Amino acid sequence: MPEERLSMRKIKEVLRLRFAGLYQEQIARSCSMGQSTVHRYLKRAEAAGLSWPLPEDYDDDQLEGLLFPEPRGRKPSGCTGPDFGDIHRQLAEHRHLTLQLLWEEYREVHPTAGYGYSRFCELYHQWKGSQDVVLRQEHRPGEKMFVDWAARRIPIHNPQTGETTPASLFVAVLGASTYTFARATSDQALVNWIDCHVRALEFFDGATS
- pLDDT per position as a tens digit, 149-173: 987 888 888 888 888 889 999 999 9
- pLDDT for residue 75: 53
User: Do 62 and 118 touch, CB atoms closer than 8 A?
Assistant: no
Q: How confident is the model at residue 58 (pLDDT cuts 50, 70, 90)?
A: confident
Residue 96 has pLDDT above 90, yes or no: no
**Which segment, 131-145, 168-182, 185-199, is predicted with the most confidence on average?**
185-199
- pLDDT for residue 78: 53
Decide: pTM greater than 0.85: no
Rounded to whole angstroms, how far apart are CA atoms 66 and 119? Answer: 14
Long-range contacts of 173-176 (CB under 8 A, 24+ apart): 173/145, 173/146, 173/147, 174/142, 174/144, 174/145, 174/204, 174/208, 175/137, 175/139, 175/140, 175/143, 175/144, 175/145, 175/146, 175/208, 176/139, 176/140, 176/141, 176/142, 176/143, 176/144
Phi-psi region for residue 127, left (φ > 0), alpha (ψ -120 to 50) or beta? Answer: alpha
- pLDDT for residue 23: 87
Higher pLDDT, 89 or 5: 89
Residue 200 has pLDDT above 90, yes or no: yes
